[in-house]
A and B are shown apart, each in its own frame.
Chain A
C-alpha cells in the first residue's frame, strides 16, 4: 500500500486506482470476491469526489456544499459494503432454493407428493 501523504489526483482514473489500491490493501479478499458488484459503484464515486474537489477549487461550490457532497459519497461507500453483505445472504438463499428444487422435484416425481409447490412447479 503506497503512501497517501502527498497523493493528489489529477484525473478520475488516478483517484479510482488509488481507492482500489487502498481498499485492496486492507481487504483484498473482500475486493476480489465482490469486484464485479462494487467496481462500477467505486468508479462512479471516484468520479463524484473528483468533480467535488475540482468544483471546490474553481469556486463553483462553497466549502459547505463540498463537505455535504463528500459525506454523501462516504455514505454511498458504506451502503456499497452493506449491499455486498446483503447479496451474500441472497446467494445463500438461492443455493438452498436451487438444491430443494431438485430434491422437491425428485420426491414429487417418485411419490406424487409436492412438498415445495413454490419451488418445483414442474
Chain B
C-alpha cells in the first residue's frame, strides 16, 4: 500500500509539470506575433516590388526595428522560464525555442543588410527563407497554447 502511495506521489509530482516542453507563455507569443506582423509588412513590400531600391529601406526601417525588438522581448520571456529540475528534457526544448526565435531574427537581419545595400527585388528567393524561419518561430511560441 505504501509503495502504491509512493508511485502515486512520484507520478503526481510529474503531472502538470513542464518536463518536456516549456508551458505556453502568452506574453512571448504576443511579442512574437507582433514581430511577425512587422515581418509580413516587409516581405509584402518586397513581393510587391516596392522594396527594390536601397532608398526604400527608410520606409520600412520602423518595421525592422519593431520586429527585432519584439523578438528580443519574446526571447527574454522564454529565457526567464526555468525547467522544473536540472537536466529536464524541457531545458533542451527551451534552448531549441530560443534558437528558433533567434533564427528568425538572423534571417531578418540578413534581409535588412541586403535591403539597405542593394534593395530587395521581388521574386529572387529572399523572402521565403525569412518567412519560413519566422513562421516556425511563431508556431513554436504557440505550440503549447
A contact residues, range: 35 or more
Total contacting residues, chain B, CB less than 8 A:
44
Q: Which of B87-130 contact A (CB under 8 A)?
A: 89-90, 92-93, 96-97, 99-100, 103-104, 106-107, 110-111, 113-114, 118, 121, 123-130
Q: How far is the CA of A66 from the CA of B103 in the complex (A)?
A: 20
| Chain B binding surface, main DSSP class | helix
Q: Are B19 and A96 in contact (CB under 8 A)?
A: yes
> Which 4 A-B pairs give the minimum distances between C-beta atoms?
A100-B15, A48-B125, A89-B93, A48-B128
Offer 25 A-B interface pairs, CB within 8 angstroms, sorted by A: A41-B136, A44-B131, A45-B132, A48-B129, A61-B121, A68-B113, A69-B124, A69-B126, A72-B126, A75-B107, A75-B129, A76-B128, A79-B136, A80-B136, A82-B136, A86-B21, A90-B144, A92-B21, A93-B21, A93-B90, A96-B15, A103-B11, A115-B15, A116-B12, A116-B15
